[in-house]
């Protein structure tokens, strides 16, 4: 089986893609039946788009992400999504061959929308345009067609420099039995097309054998800077974008053992994985693993490796008392043997999580649903960390298997985590540990206090635009900063900040009582022509307002932006 695991940004995209295909109603996730609704019309130009699927997905990236809700348009192109709770969302029609303007603050296709409890919103309309098409044929060094080869594209600006483009799915487009591919539903723009693998391409192969082709761009060049730029126009097709690959190189095998450093003995039944290294070999980029585990001799075997730089490591998906040092290796033109993944006894941090400013029994009971994690800062190359620790009913916790260094404690975002909790500070013996808790090799650190807060305050607002019109490259995001606090406002970035929707509305939820500065930031995601560098431009403050938040209340604010003052 061929499996390609992408880098983080694309992994998020694909995870969203999978969630969409198995979506359930948002109303099913709520204890109280929500009464909100969103409706509108989808058209192809001036004609209705019947039977188009419209999907509403939460914009929140923290706890309690709700599944998407979807509905199909009728014969007149109209849709209505019902049972929608209050919150911030992205809404878009799912029409693979058609495109619409990217309007959200993350340059996602669709529109941002913020709903109050029970609000009914109409007029969220979409006009679709048939996307561009790029098609061609992929052949080997002898001119024979290559079947089931994934085709990758990179979106570039007028200078040929990469632009952010996180919504292309490489698993969707491959060559057929003639070696022909057809990329459709492309947003108008400039692209570079390639086939094959690159050691630093942000992908890693897991459980794959057979040959590997070196990444080659149209027209048959390995250097990305020399690749031809293909123009994709709405409703048009760029043809004969052919690629001829070189000879397929073999894939190779890396073998070795997992050893306990203290005893020198091999360790059996441990899950292992591997990832690709960046050019500087300072971090692991894309990574993954199978269900394979070390045998009774502690031996592991990684197959399907192409030429490149890698690191192998032990995978720990639950609390353990050890960590692994990554075994770095490079594949040239032969198998790699004799690798050693060294496992060392980790340090641990234990203590008590306490809630400040509330003695509500229901709130205290919710604390046991929270998870804490710690990341040890180190300049050395380290293996991915995926473990977390629950807060026990009595508030105690213990985080184990940490590398030596400064460990920063934070919330582990979990779909089942309750909203409203804030990590105010971390202390030890009355001393603030916001810079991290120093841990030595195998050291046990106790007496740590994680101070939490809980809030139910809500700030809703309207942004009014003056002195001009919004342009497609301009978006706004609102942040809530609790005055007098240097730490994070809440456990969830979604409640500490949120997007401004297409109507100029926003909602900040789960805020603790106190004085806040509400800051509206102006953000550009596509620069003007000729304005270096490409990509996102640092945000600038557009408006501010101070508010006082109390639990169980909602505050309405209005922020005014002069679009003519593009500072």
Residue 162 near residue 168 (C-beta atoms within 8 A): no
Lowest mean pLDDT among 115-129, 219-233, 377-391, 546-560: 377-391
pLDDT-derived band at 13 (thresholds 50, 70, 90) equals very low
pTM (two decimals): 0.73
* Residue 265 burial (CB count, 10 A): 11
Q: Does domain 132-244 have CATH number 2.60.40.1120?
A: yes
Lowest mean pLDDT among 144-148, 500-504, 557-561: 500-504
pLDDT-derived band at 132 (thresholds 50, 70, 90) equals very high
pLDDT-derived band at 25 (thresholds 50, 70, 90) equals very low
How does 46-56 read in b/e, with b if 16+ C-beta sit within 10 Å?
eeebeebbbbb
Q: Does domain 252-342 have CATH number 2.60.40.10?
A: yes
Residue 220 near residue 147 (C-beta atoms within 8 A): no
Residue 457 near residue 551 (C-beta atoms within 8 A): yes
pLDDT given for residue 356 in this prediction: 86
Give yes or no for residue 121 having a pLDDT over 70.
yes
Pick one of 3.40.1120.10, 3.90.1150.10, 3.40.50.620, 2.60.40.10 as the CATH number of 3-125.
2.60.40.10
**219 preceded by a cis bond (ω within 30 of 0):** yes
Tell me phi and psi for residue 67, to 5 degrees.
-65, 160
DSSP class of residue 368? Answer: G
Give yes or no for residue 312 having a pLDDT over 70.
yes
Fold type of domain 347-454: Immunoglobulin-like (2.60.40)
212-247 residue pLDDT tens: 788 999 999 999 999 999 999 999 999 999 999 988
| Nearest residue to 509 via CA among 451, 464, 554 | 554
443-480 residue pLDDT tens: 999 999 999 988 889 999 999 988 877 776 678 889 99
Domain boundaries, the chain: 3-125, 132-244, 252-342, 347-454, 457-562
**Between residues 543 and 257, the one the model is more confident about:** 257
pLDDT given for residue 144 in this prediction: 94
| CA distances, 430 to each of 225, 426, 436, 447, 502 (Å) | 56, 9, 14, 10, 46
Give yes or no for residue 322 having a pLDDT over 80.
yes
Distance between CA atoms of residues 408 and 432, nearest Å: 12
Question: What's the farthest any 2 CA atoms get from each other in the chain?
Answer: 75
- The CATH superfamily holding the domain 457-562 is Immunoglobulins (2.60.40.10)
pLDDT given for residue 171 in this prediction: 54
Distance between CA atoms of residues 545 and 460, nearest Å: 12
Lowest mean pLDDT among 202-211, 403-412, 418-427, 532-541: 532-541
Residue 94 near residue 61 (C-beta atoms within 8 A): no
Determine the Cα angle at 347 with ends 449 and 446, to 5°: 25
Coil vs helix vs strand at 507: strand
pLDDT given for residue 99 in this prediction: 86
pLDDT given for residue 304 in this prediction: 85
137-171 residue pLDDT tens: 999 999 999 998 889 998 898 888 887 654 555 55
Q: Tell me if 3-125 shares its fold with 252-342.
A: yes
| CA distances, 67 to each of 59, 460, 491, 494 (Å) | 11, 23, 20, 16
Give yes or no for residue 321 having a pLDDT over 80.
yes
Give yes or no for residue 497 having a pLDDT over 90.
no
């Amino acid at each position: 089986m061929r499996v390609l695991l992408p880098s983080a940004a694309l992994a998020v995209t694909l995870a969203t893609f999978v969630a969409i295909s198995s979506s359930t109603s948002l109303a099913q996730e709520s204890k109280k039946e929500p009464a909100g609704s969103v409706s509108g019309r989808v058209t192809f130009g001036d004609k209705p788009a019947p039977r188009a699927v419209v999907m509403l997905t939460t914009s929140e990236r923290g706890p309690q992400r709700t599944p998407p809700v979807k509905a199909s348009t009728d014969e007149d192109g109209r849709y209505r999504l019902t049972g929608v709770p209050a919150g911030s969302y992205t809404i878009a029609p799912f029409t693979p061959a058609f495109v619409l303007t990217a309007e959200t603050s993350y340059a996602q296709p669709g529109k941002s929308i913020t709903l109050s409890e029970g609000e009914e919103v109409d007029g969220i309309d979409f006009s679709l345009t048939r996307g561009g098409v790029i098609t061609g044929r992929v052949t080997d060094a002898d001119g024979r067609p290559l079947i089931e080869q994934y085709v990758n594209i990179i979106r570039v600006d007028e200078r040929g420099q990469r632009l952010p483009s996180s919504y292309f799915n490489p698993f969707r487009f491959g060559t057929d039995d003639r070696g022909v591919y057809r990329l459709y539903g492309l947003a108008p723009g400039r692209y570079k097309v390639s086939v094959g693998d690159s050691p630093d391409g942000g992908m890693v192969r897991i459980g794959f054998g057979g040959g590997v082709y070196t990444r080659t761009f149209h027209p048959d060049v390995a250097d990305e800077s020399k690749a031809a730029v293909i123009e994709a126009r709405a409703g048009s097709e760029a043809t004969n974008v052919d690629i001829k690959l070189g000879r397929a190189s073999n894939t190779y095998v890396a073998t070795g053992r997992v050893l306990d450093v203290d005893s020198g003995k091999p360790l059996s039944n441990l899950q292992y994985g591997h990832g690709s290294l960046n050019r500087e070999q300072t971090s692991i980029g894309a990574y993954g693993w199978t269900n394979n585990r070390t045998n009774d001799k502690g031996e592991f075997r990684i197959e399907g490796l192409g030429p490149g730089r890698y690191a192998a490591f032990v995978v720990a998906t639950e609390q353990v008392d050890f960590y692994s040092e990554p075994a770095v290796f490079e594949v040239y033109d032969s198998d790699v043997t004799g690798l050693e993944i060294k496992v060392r006894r980790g340090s641990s941090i234990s203590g008590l999580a306490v809630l400040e400013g509330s003695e509500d029994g229901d709130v205290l009971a919710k604390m046991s649903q929270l998870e804490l994690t710690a990341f040890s800062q180190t300049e050395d190359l380290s293996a991915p960390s995926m473990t977390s620790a629950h807060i026990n009913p009595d508030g105690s916790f213990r985080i184990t298997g940490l590398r030596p260094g400064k460990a920063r404690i934070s919330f582990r975002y979990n779909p089942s985590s309750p909203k409203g909790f804030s990590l105010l500070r971390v202390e030890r013996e009355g001393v603030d540990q916001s810079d991290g808790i120093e841990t030595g090799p195998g050291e046990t650190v106790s007496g740590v206090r994680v101070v939490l807060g809980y809030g139910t305050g809500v700030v809703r607002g309207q942004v009014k635009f003056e002195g001009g019109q919004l342009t497609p490259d301009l978006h706004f995001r609102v942040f809530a900063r609790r005055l007098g606090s240097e730490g994070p406002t809440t456990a969830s970035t979604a409640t500490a900040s949120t997007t401004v929707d297409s109507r100029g509305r926003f909602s900040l939820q789960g805020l603790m009582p106190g004085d806040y500065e509400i800051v509206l930031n102006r953000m550009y995601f596509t620069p003007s022509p000729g304005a270096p560098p490409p990509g996102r431009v640092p945000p600038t403050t557009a408006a501010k307002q101070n508010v006082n938040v109390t639990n169980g209340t909602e505050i309405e604010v209005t922020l005014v932006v002069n679009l003519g003052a593009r500072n």
